[in-house]
Amino acid sequence: MISFPNESEAYRQARNELLQAEIALRAKVEEVAALRRRLPLGGTLKEDYVFADLDGRAVRLSELFSGDKRTLLLYSYMYGPEMASPCPSCTSLLDGLDGSAPHIGQNADLAVVISGSVDQAGDVYRTRGWKNLRLLSAAGCRYNRDYHGEHPDNGQMPMMNVFTRQGQQIHHFWGSELLFAPSDGDPRHVDQLWPLWNALDLTPAGRGEKYPQLSY
């Protein structure tokens, strides 16, 4: 085991105990990922949903698969037509994904949809200074309603869905259903994608009680 300058014996003992827990957590994370990879194919795509890009052009879900890629990550961003501004927490997550998108794109396609209008999508895209995310409006289709990014009362949900293309068919592969699972009031379900919380979890104070804002 390594050590750091001037650390106490008590610190090293506690740190070694924590290290064993971290090793076990790493193994558990891979165990869960392996279970995810072994999922059988989910249901076929309900319909080839038609979105609108930032220029108002129609884009089908099937067209979000590029080249020979067989995997699409599609995030439902909480920004509905009745919302004056987008969800700050979703925005924080997407700020991080904008930087990661070129790297993700080496293996899979990534896109983001809002239930709001093309104008809403364009405004937030420019305001955040995003360069790499593909942001679309689902205002003209039922995608968010069908894949749990929106409640029947138009309430928005931060849902990540993964689709896989097999030949001419597209299947649902995985969705962040942990969002809907019973909890102790902690709704975390996509933390593995979120740099903010992963960074703060390394600090003495942890995550604290402050949530992301659109500006500071």
How far apart CA 31 and CA 9 sit, in angstroms, is 33
Domain-embedded: residue 208: no
- Whether 186 is in a domain gets the answer no
Q: How confident is the model at residue 183 (pLDDT cuts 50, 70, 90)?
A: confident
| Sequence-distant (≥ 6) Cβ neighbours of residue 69 within 8 angstroms | 107, 108, 109, 165
Q: Is residue 212 part of a domain?
A: no
- Is 115 found in the same domain as 57? yes
User: pTM of the entire structure?
Assistant: 0.95
Residue 41: band (very low, low, confident or very high) from pLDDT cuts 50, 70, 90: very high
CA atoms within 13 A on the CB side of 182: 0
117-170 pLDDT, tens digit each: 999 999 999 999 999 999 999 999 999 999 999 999 999 999 999 999 999 999
Q: What is the CATH number of the domain that holds 75?
A: 3.40.30.10
Tell me the pLDDT band of 186, cut-offs 50, 70 and 90.
Answer: confident
Angle 103-64-53 from CA coordinates, rounded to 5°: 100
Does 135 map to a domain? yes
**Whether 116 and 172 share a structural domain:** yes
